[in-house]
Amino acid sequence: MTKEVFEFITKQQLFSTEDRILVGISGGRDSMSLCFALKDLGYQIALAHCNFSLRGEESDKDELFVNEYAKKNKLEVFNIKFDTQAYASKNSVSIQMAARELRYTWFEEIRKKNNYNYIAIAHNRDDIVETYFINLIRGTGIEGLTGIKSKNNKIVRPLLNISREKINSYITENNISYREDSSNASTKYIRNKLRHQILPELRSISKVFDQTMVENIDKINQVNQVYKNEISFQKSKTLIQLSDSVKINIQKLKKLKPTYTYLYEFLKPCGFTASTISDIEQSLNAESGKKFLSKSHQIIKDREYLILTEITTKPKAEIFFDKDTKTISNPVPLEIEIIDKADYKMSKSNLIMALDMEKLSFPLLIRNWKQGDYFMPLGMNRMKKLSNFLIDSKVSITEKDRTYLIQSKNDIIAIVGKRIDDRYKITGETKKIFKITLKK
């Protein structure tokens, strides 16, 4: 088996003899076989063991076993003890998911801190088949049927082409010590139920069941590559990446069939659930303004686009500044200067707000706009609701959230980057200009 492991490492380009490898080790058959094989092949390894505090004294004895093995073989070992049950309850996840999140996060911390190149995990060929059926039973997209990757960023799996039966033989032939996890015999967990009850029945139907399944999963992987290429191509045509948001063209999206599948793939990385994405699809012909949330992002249905933004807490701005201020960085980047009218060249850019300085009362105030605000837009001779001005200017819903105004006493003198108030514009009697420039 050692030779097969080396050939797999080489063929899959998992790592080289110069790399330092951190081996995730439980003390069980698979991880002890992996450790033995890598050590026998001369790779530079260290061990990382997690005590999940789930089996009481048995978990502690696993930790002791790993430490004694490391000492005997002069290997560096890292240990940690987790309150897995508390983590699962706090984060509303299963025990299995809690253990997975805890160990992979910790493995990566140890890898970075101690300059290891890769983290080796002892998944084997049987795990590929079991994971396929677990995902199939729970419900998954095509990605969930592509099995376990031999290399995923810094995670490598050198035993992925080795069957559990071959690992058991390797254990016996090399007299490798290991710890038996009593929970592996329980059918309480779906993986064990598959392992002990369902898959043996399928293997009784076909002697080459496992090999056939691995080949099927490889074919699904190839189909998935074609699928991802199509998704990526349509994504480039349908999505517009802006500096702080993504706009999804609704008309282009509706032409993609099935629309839900494309939308699901576009939005899945942002944490939207299948049911929420279904609701978003149903809203495509609805009026503007609907909002949909994931834990990290929001979608707002606008006129022609779905606007995707990351959820951030909008700071409540209330910044005062006087005539001597030169720059402002928050909540918006502004440059300020006082200019003689004779030296000023007129600009049509909304980024430049040129105001008659003698009409201003300092300090000025920058703040968020709110419902009920009124001002007199440049070019008009009557007051207008700021909310109506934004609607008429076709300002998107997300852009409204980032709209700030400048106030002098009780008057709104400028909507930053959009329009100044007509009452504060430059006239023939203006002597000094208070110039505010919005920096992009």
Are residues 10 and 155 located together in one domain of the fold? yes
428 C-beta neighbours (distance < 10 Å), count? 5
32 domain-assigned: yes
Are residues 185 and 52 located together in one domain of the fold? yes
230 domain-assigned: no
109 domain-assigned: yes
Among residues 310, 333, 351, the one where a domain terminates is: 310
Give 3-state DSSP helix, strand, coil % of the chain, rounded to 5. Answer: 45, 20, 35
Are residues 51 and 67 located together in one domain of the fold? yes
Domains identified in the chain, total number:
3
Are residues 201 and 266 located together in one domain of the fold? no
Are residues 174 and 255 located together in one domain of the fold? no
pLDDT at residue 314, as a whole number: 58
pLDDT at residue 313, as a whole number: 58
Among residues 274, 291, 310, the one where a domain terminates is: 310
234 domain-assigned: no
Are residues 129 and 203 located together in one domain of the fold? yes
Q: 53-56 contacts: CB < 8 A, separation 24 or more?
A: 53/81, 53/82, 53/83, 53/84, 53/85, 54/84, 54/85, 54/95, 54/99, 54/183, 55/181, 55/182, 55/183
Q: What pTM value is reported for the model?
A: 0.65
pLDDT at residue 310, as a whole number: 84
SS3 243: coil
What is the span of the domain harbouring residue 425?
Answer: 318-438
The angle at the Cα of 188, spanning 185 to 194, to the nearest 5 degrees, equals 70
132 domain-assigned: yes
Residue written as tokens 């992979």? 104
CATH number at residue 19: 3.40.50.620
236 domain-assigned: no
pLDDT at residue 427, as a whole number: 93
**pLDDT tens-place values along the chain, 440 residues long:** 888 999 999 999 999 999 999 999 999 999 999 999 999 999 999 999 999 988 888 888 989 999 999 999 999 999 999 989 999 888 888 888 899 999 999 999 999 999 999 999 999 999 999 999 999 988 888 888 998 999 999 999 999 999 999 999 999 999 898 888 777 766 777 888 898 899 999 999 998 999 999 999 999 999 999 999 999 999 999 999 987 789 999 999 999 999 999 999 999 999 999 899 999 999 998 888 888 988 889 898 988 999 998 876 555 678 899 999 999 988 889 999 999 998 888 888 889 999 999 999 999 999 999 889 999 999 999 999 999 999 898 887 667 778 899 999 999 999 999 999 999 999 999 999 999 999 87
Are residues 207 and 248 located together in one domain of the fold? no
Among residues 310, 327, 359, the one where a domain terminates is: 310
Are residues 268 and 289 located together in one domain of the fold? yes
User: Which residues on adjacent β-strands are paired with residue 356?
Assistant: 433
CA terminus-to-terminus distance, the chain: 61
198 C-beta neighbours (distance < 10 Å), count? 15
365 domain-assigned: yes
Q: Is the dihedral of CA 159, 161, 164, 165 positive or negative?
A: negative
pLDDT at residue 185, as a whole number: 67
pLDDT at residue 318, as a whole number: 86
Are residues 397 and 274 located together in one domain of the fold? no
429 C-beta neighbours (distance < 10 Å), count? 8
Whether the CB-CB separation of 320 and 409 falls below 8 Å is answered with no
Are residues 187 and 332 located together in one domain of the fold? no
Are residues 143 and 268 located together in one domain of the fold? no
229 domain-assigned: no
Helix or strand (DSSP H, E) at 232? helix 209-238
CATH number at residue 386: 3.50.40.10
Are residues 146 and 29 located together in one domain of the fold? yes
